Structure 1
Amino acid sequence: MDINHIQSAHCESGVIVNMLAYNGLKLSEPMIFGIGSGIFFIHLPFIEVNGVPVSNFRIWPGGIFSRSMKLIGAKVKTQKFRSVQKSMDVLDELLSKKIPVGVMCSVYYLPYLPDAYRFHFNAHNIVIWAKEGDEYIVGDPTLSEMKRIHKDDLAKARWAKGFPEPAGKLYYVEKMPEDTPELKDAIRRGIKRTLFLIKSAPLPFIGVKGICYLAKKIEKYPEKYSERKALLALGNLIRMQEEIGTGGGGFRFMYAAFLKEASHLLNNEELAKLSQELTGIGDRWRDFAYRVAKIIKNRGSAQDNYQSIARYLEEIGQSEIAFFKKLGKVKL
């Protein structure tokens, strides 16, 4: 197998970039992220992971893969399993046919990662390129070079407990399109689906309005939680924003890069202008993370600290609402 590992900003879109490149189709990561409708927001106060509420800045795991592959005309397969052994046997069979395989796993059980990055997060994506003895050759898109992992460690990572539960999930390309994909149509359809998902959700904690919903929740953290749990909740938020994949700011930067690339392909100057606007919103997300980190570092729990960052997050949310309204008015 001729392996050319491509480092990427985000795990799932990075896996797709590597799979497509192996199969002879070179697309940028922002293009994959954009046509796959990757940008999103959701805050789930009623679901806790590691004892704190869940927030996510991208579409659900697997969504970018299924959507982007559909729009470029590739035939793919995704499987989950009921037994560890079956999941490993199917992986080995695919590798024996020289088919690179994407797997969803927990970063906690990946020994090649530094200890600081190993915690209970079950939606990481990596490419398994080959098997040599009891080890697998791994392409982790967030790293600059390939790694090796023992079969027992990989099995643990693929069968970690918690939310979401990987259940041995794997996915791969069965057949590539015979003709070069029509990216213009994929771009239009990808943007329209993104607008539907991020603007049309009927619940207040889903889509762009969920950002303002979270802001109201943060303002009440000092009343609702102990000092320790309030700080943990803030810490988990910026970890999800800035460390898991590319985070809040990073996902906005990536979608901005997609809009810029799309503006050239569609010859649409409005998309180029909106790309610049979204880059500015991404900068504000990064500034929000910096402000939250200062609160955590100082271990301050004064109400005005939480009120201040809540107001700033509300402003970001209103900026995103306005941005996607403008995007929805662009003639594609």
Structure 2
Amino acid sequence: MLIENVAFPGGRHCETTTLGALLRHEGVGLSEPMLFGLGEGLGFVYWDARNMAFPFLGGRTRPATITRTVADRLNLTLHVQETTSPGRAWRNVTTALAAGRPVGLQLDCYHLDYFSTKVHFGGHFVALYGYDDSQAHLVDTAEQGGTVTTTLASLARARGERGPMTARNLSYTVARPTELPELGDAVRAAIQGNAHAFLNPPIANLGHRGIAKAARQVTRWLDRSTDPARDLPLAAALMERGGTGGALFRAMYRDFLAECATIVDDDNIPLGHRLYADIAPLWTEVARHITEAGQTGDPDRLIRASALLDDLAAREHQAMQVLSGVRPR
């Protein structure tokens, strides 16, 4: 069976692409930057656990929080199901599809047939809109092909994988309310909420404090890696092309603020937009220096990346202080 009119052309980030596809089927057509911003998605994490081969720089909040926050902001009915049973997991999906609703899935993209780069990542999202005897029909990001298929067996493995960021066969549907809340009010609340979280991280690895920590740690990365020519360019590629929309999600948040400035009359928003318009290219420059350090083994590249990160910690702190001044009407 297939549900018609489930798509999100040009999606760059997996969770917002999935949510966008589900909402368009409900008749709610919001841009990807708007979904990211309403979901209070901008963040930062410097992640270097003992079982990790190399540190990870992340630019957004935890998986599924964007979807849950957008649902709260827009008064959507979000129905989430998790189970350790593969059989029940599939029944959860087929029941929703039979009722005419496409389904969001969180899974490990390593097992999906159409992924050419085989890396375990348990925080990947797709929208499932149909299946036949052997194939599942999915919506993924434009980079991964947009509307794609994978075998039912590979989908089951992807959903059932265990490890960092994975969920227990998580699936969800969304339904719009009879009347959506006023978008300007939702925008104001989301900007203020994201700013508060970024400015008040609970640990030093997160938010503006996490960027400052990355500035201190990145100079050690050539020694930290067993294969710098592999590890450093990969870390940089995830910042620029790993579903972030560029510049570690800063380009997407910049575009969100530009759209908000046309909806909400608050001087803090265009100022925040200008600040993030200056910030985004600096993240791209950080990624370039990290890549070149891995390619050349030159530690000076990491010293330059460190200086930029130090500057970015201060710039983003300032930008979020400005945006924290956005208040409800």
With normalisation by structure 2, the TM-score equals: 0.92
Deviations 1:151-190 (A, max 9, x none): 10101111123201232111111x3211133111111111
Kept after mapping to 2: 8 A contact 1:53/1:233 = no
The partner residue of 2:65 within 60, 63, 66 is: 63
Deviation for aligned residue 1:263: 1.2
Equivalent of 1:325, from 301, 321, 328? 321
Asked if 2 retains the 8 angstrom alpha-carbon contact of 1:129 and 1:138, the reply is yes
- Give 1:320 shift: 1.1
299, 306, 316: which one pairs with 2:312? 316
Query: 2:291, 2:56 → 1: CA distance?
Result: 18
Which residue of structure 1 lines up, in the alignment, with residue 159 of structure 2? 158
Contact 2:289–2:301 (CA<8 Å) still a contact in 1? no
SS in 1 for 2:314: helix
In the alignment, is the contact (CA less than 8 A) between 2:6 and 2:129 conserved in 1?
no
Counterpart residue identity of residue 213, structure 1: K
1:43 lines up with 2:39 in the alignment: no
The alignment partner of 1:20 has SS state of helix
Q: What is the one-letter code of the residue matched to 2:161? A: A
CA contact (8 A) 1:138 1:147 kept: yes
Indicate the residue corresponding to 1:274 in structure 2: 272
Cα RMSD over matched residues? 2.0
Structure 2 residue aligned with 1:304: 300
Q: 1:55 deviation in Å?
A: 2.8
In the alignment, which residue of structure 2 is the partner of 1:53?
Answer: 55
Counterpart CA distance in 2 for 1:291 and 1:60 is 26
Instruction: Tell me which residue corresponds to 1:108.
Output: 110
- Stretches of structure 2 that go unaligned for 5 or more consecutive residues are none
1:261-288 alpha-carbon deviations (Å, 9 max, x no partner): 1111112343123212202211111111
CA contact under 8 A between 1:57 and 1:247: conserved in structure 2? Answer: no
Deviation at 1:328, TM superposition (A): 2.0
Partner Cα separation in structure 2 for residue 293 and residue 54 of structure 1: 14
Q: Secondary structure at the match of 2:48?
A: strand
Q: What are structure 1's unaligned runs of at least 5 residues? A: none
Mapped to 1, the partners of 2:230 and 2:68 lie a distance apart of 33
Q: Provide the rounded CA distance (Å) in 1 between the counterparts of 2:302 and 2:248.
A: 23
Taking the aligned partners of 2:230 and 2:35, their CA distance within structure 1 comes to 33
- Alpha-carbon distance in 2 for matches of 1:30, 1:135: 31
How do residues 165-180 of structure 1 correspond to structure 2 at under 5 angstroms?
165-173=166-174, 175-180=175-180
SS at match of 2:83: coil
Query: CA–CA distance in 2 between the matches of 1:81 and 1:31?
Result: 31
Is 2:255 the partner of 1:257? Answer: yes
Instruction: Give the secondary-structure state (helix, strand or coil) at the position aligned to 1:32.
Output: helix
Structure 1 residues 123 and 216: CA distance shift in structure 2, 3 A: same
Give the C-alpha shift of residue 127 in structure 1.
0.3
Task: Give the 5 Å matches for 1:84-163.
Answer: 84-113=86-115, 115=116, 117-142=117-142, 143-163=144-164
Runs (4+) of structure 1 exceeding 4 A deviation are: 229-233
SS at match of 1:266: coil
